[in-house]
Structure 1
């Protein structure tokens, strides 16, 4: 989709005649994608004047094709400015220009994060993507999936133009941490008008009235060979992605259904139920890689950022994470996607899907949007891991929307348990202990799984540190019962959690994904940083949102931090319908701890803020014939 399209000469005329903003706004209305925001309009008024001035300064052909706000297929992202033609060697070329109004003084590098800088945005200093990374990533996505670009060998040349950014601050964007991106997509600043003019003249030296931009907008989508080979090699080299037993069965069936759906032009939906540690994500990643290698455009989808970040990093091998970034997408990315645009979408952690797709309240229902956007969709789900008041993912909801769109529905189950020392019994015991459901494991389970109960959090944390030091990936996590203060989110020395003399920082917002960042062993994680992931040993601090009173588990929404939105709105519900509100609180709190307590492959160490809950767990643990310590 292209919001504005013209020749270079026509674009300059529209700017000179003060018509360019009206033309772009009209383009939004014509495309039916809603109105432009005031921030976007201000940006166009500023930046497009500089682009017009640039054309006055260089000899780019006036009949070169120009596009503004070109929406990249498969995403909701739009390229600021594109110009196409033939370069000085007569090769087809499209130059991709990321425009920024940034000024140098408030901008600073963030070297511990990949492709991230900090600058003034929306009235405050915020982290955002480096302009070179942004331009490069747009170019990479088009190259990886656009058939026209691949077949016609169209060269894409990304660059960034920061027309207000003064030369004296150049080192803030040219920091060594950004070397890969600035090499692929050079940055041009306020004083670089002549240099940028010469670059554009070399890239767009002539035209053949080919309208290359429209051609790539209309092109079919297909993964390129380089991406296919790289993804296959990465999976083959990583034993963690090897499939066994029911994982292999589900994988083969999912691939078969995807092929049939696309060959027969019929919509198909597969629902895969699997408890903690059954390998849902491993199967999902394998399906993604296989379909990409079979020429199907596919994406891995999840609401949680943590598993997307961790598995991108695990999967990449020697590649940069960002080179496969576009294969992993958030669940709210398909609001305006046309029907069946994707051959396949793989929705992991589908129990976390919501109705509204983003913070602006757009979108009708993420389940519906995913099914609508794809010829084949697979949903990996564990309804007992719904840990937010807005979580709607369930078999019933998926079936409802699949039926509305006349999709064929199939259901499967992952049975093998690879976490908790391979025991379904431990998870069933947790369900009984937390009073989620009655199970046959009320008296315990028989396995070598290291469960320990500690009477102070410092001892628990030290034990987990020792496990991690011995070479087993181990982390401490907790219920979201302490405030995560904004000013301390990037500082591991900032104290968020205080329990007596125990003082720790919440999951630091920075660097590698928290679950696998080396520094994370000194911090405490929450449900949002570890759901969908696993450790060898997990230490769990059960906060004041869960207690034991009068012979039963009691949940308390007042024990949750205000910075956690998982129970947002429940106080109002307590006044309107206290019985239903308490039911929701019970589900969210109990499922949260069920999820945290089942993150361990080899063991789980527990501390309870509530003494009566500790006594209750001690009693329950005494019945287990396993490796139990107190």
Structure 2
């Protein structure tokens, strides 16, 4: 692998330097874990944080230290313990297993998806000591027989089988009903056990100003179009396009210059898991959706995926240098207002909104479905380290975004 392809491994490397806050957090979790290893009840440590706040790098170094002690330090409380790193995302799992291949204290078998681990433990009638769970908001919270999960909740099942559980959680990255989580639903479980919480706030991934990040958050959380901050382009390449094909060409140029630059899109375009190609079309723009990735290399690091459109399922959890984001048909502007509306009938991700037996109120269901659509946009918005380019399918929203861009004193991309 070259430098470009090594980006995800480098980002999650346990050797990465931590900030003072992150290092103190790792030490606090280690102290908490030691204190509960031999307790009568499981204990849980939850790290809350938005996308890009450094949650995963904390877990990577934490797990490396636990496994080093478990396998090498006979004086440590962790010596001889059995521990697993769990993540319910196949693309991210590939990165962790690649890291394990280069670290003598880490084995690839230490890293697992939750369903495989739970079923494997049950088959062997085994329990273990410490579970470190990345992207806990992706854990299943209902049975999924298609994927061989027959219990009601993956977090509950992992708690039954481990002594200490450390999780990271972001309510704004919940994307499917079968993985429905809210802070309230999470705490209904964690409050039953000795537990501790920590909140990470600082954005590490994006070099954007705090004001621009706040603008993104108003868009997603308040469904509101606010004036762009005057520093939206300070140390960050932020652009709004009226032409999706022009945006694609700019992303191709960024990819040729620095690599790891991709086109991403929300749902709202034809997409079926039938092995065929399904295209997103916007004027002169025409590109196929991402294909299922059978390789050990994450989708975002495959050179050929510059010719595909990435989805939330291939880019979540990854850093990209530049992103060109298509805001699809499910999100439009209400005429005569600065407010956004969610068009549930235009959402084409059929897996996202499958019914749950514990949800029957239509208003509650609609609110959750709308929130998940905006969460999917949040995942895309928070990917670009050095730059984010936007294009909107809805003509009114597209015009308004371009107006906001020029009103903030910026030239349109076609003028640059």
How much has 1:263 moved relative to structure 2? 4.4
Contact 2:11–2:57 under 8 Å retained in 1: no
Structure 1 residue runs of 4+, over 6 Å off? 234-237, 625-628
Contact 1:452–1:605 under 8 Å retained in 2: yes
Contact 1:514–1:520 under 8 Å retained in 2: yes
1:402 to 184, 190, 195: 190
Show the 5 A alignment for 1:483-562. Answer: 483-489=270-276, 494-510=277-293, 511=295, 512-550=297-335, 551=337, 552-561=339-348
Q: Where do 5+ consecutive residues of structure 2 fail to align?
A: 1-8, 71-80
How much has 1:327 moved relative to structure 2? 2.1
Q: 1:299 to 1:237 in 2, by over 3 A?
A: closer
2:392 to 608, 613, 620: 608
Contact 1:387–1:591 under 8 Å retained in 2: yes
Show the 5 A alignment for 1:34-433. Answer: 238=13, 241-264=16-39, 266-295=41-70, 296-313=81-98, 316-317=101-102, 324-333=107-116, 335=118, 337=121, 341-360=127-146, 362-404=150-192, 407-421=193-207, 423-433=209-219
Q: If you compute each CA radius of gyration, which structure gives the higher value, 1 or 2?
A: 1
2:369 to 585, 595, 599: 585
Q: 1:541 to 1:269 in 2, by over 3 A?
A: same
How much has 1:470 moved relative to structure 2? 0.7
User: Which residue is equivalent to 2:3?
Assistant: none
Partners in 2 of 1:472 and 1:315 — Cα distance? 24
Q: 1:335 to 1:445 in 2, by over 3 A?
A: farther
Partners in 2 of 1:612 and 1:457 — Cα distance? 15
Partners in 1 of 2:219 and 2:211 — Cα distance? 12
How much has 1:431 moved relative to structure 2? 1.6
TM-score normalized by the length of structure 1: 0.55
Partners in 1 of 2:37 and 2:238 — Cα distance? 48
User: Which residue is equivalent to 1:79?
Assistant: none
* Aligned residue pairs, count: 382
Of Structure 1 and Structure 2, which has the larger fraction of its residues in strand?
A: 1
Contact 1:454–1:460 under 8 Å retained in 2: yes
Contact 1:300–1:328 under 8 Å retained in 2: yes
Q: Where do 5+ consecutive residues of structure 1 fail to align?
A: 1-233
User: Which residue is equivalent to 1:175?
Assistant: none
- 1:341 partner SS: coil
TM-score normalized by the length of structure 2: 0.81
